[in-house]
Amino acid sequence: MNLPCRSAPPVGLIPPQVSADNERMAAVFKFHVQEGYEWVLAERREDRKMFRSLGADRVAAEWTPVWVVLLREDGGQTFRRSDAPWLSSDAPVFREGAKAVVERAVAGDAEFLPLACKTANFSLMHVTRIIDALDLDHSEIEWLAPGERILRIRRHVFRPDWLRGVAAFKIPQYMNGAVFVSESVVDAVRTANLEGIGFQEVWRDTL
């Protein structure tokens, strides 16, 4: 599907919240790996690719739990227990307690899909809110296909009015890229004292 390069997104990508009553997002974060904590790996390479290809449609009704392996040690190093063992920034994984915290924080912006594991209960966070909120003119971007598919974002600039009332989202030009979350999600995780969950601030509104 060809996506527009500028501010005229296809139907369904137009920001649904335009009321001034909704709080404007002051900062945007992405999940960031924490050194020394557990990892989780998909047993099959094709499943890892499938995680990255999940689109905006909710799939919980037909979802079959995918098998993953919890990596507690590697190369002689023992990892600390994490409430969100690292898979990647585009596919956050949570233990049950952490899932409850994050699920409340992101409200209807994501669904949580159960994973199969022999040693723990995990859920994959599947973000279904897709918003064309990245300012393509002022961000620094490496393109795979100009205006359509992003390879890497070196500097993020967002349009804050497009993010009113949003807690978690992805952008249409970078569907296999990072999940973005609001500061309220970060605060919820920190208030709950969850272990092994890190965030990197990628943008802050200066107005």
CA atoms within 13 A on the CB side of 170: 24
Going by C-alpha positions, the residue among 86, 89, 88 that lies closest to residue 39 is 86
Report the percentage of the chain scoring pLDDT > 70. Answer: 89
Cα dihedral 172, 31, 183, 194 sign: positive
The per-residue pLDDT for 18 is 46
* Per-residue pLDDT band at 49 (split at 50, 70, 90): confident
Which residues face 68 on adjacent strands? 42
Q: Are 205 and 106 in contact (CB under 8 A)?
A: no
The per-residue pLDDT for 15 is 53
The per-residue pLDDT for 13 is 54
The average confidence (pLDDT) of the chain is 89
**CA–CA gap between residue 125 and residue 148 (Å, rounded):** 24
The answer to whether residue 19 is domain-embedded is no
The answer to whether residue 1 is domain-embedded is no
The per-residue pLDDT for 1 is 32
Domains of the chain: total = 1
Mean pLDDT of 50-74: 94
The answer to whether residue 132 is domain-embedded is yes
164 burial (CB, 10 Å; 0-12 / 13-18 / 19+) is: middle
The answer to whether residue 165 is domain-embedded is yes
The per-residue pLDDT for 22 is 61
The answer to whether residue 41 is domain-embedded is yes
Q: How many C-beta atoms surround the C-beta of residue 57 within 10 A?
A: 7
Q: Are 104 and 115 in contact (CB under 8 A)?
A: no
Which domain range does residue 110 map to?
A: 27-204
The per-residue pLDDT for 53 is 86
The answer to whether residue 2 is domain-embedded is no
Residues whose CB falls within 8 Å of the CB of residue 15, separated by 6 or more in sequence, listed in order:
131, 133, 161, 162, 163, 164
The answer to whether residue 11 is domain-embedded is no
The answer to whether residue 13 is domain-embedded is no
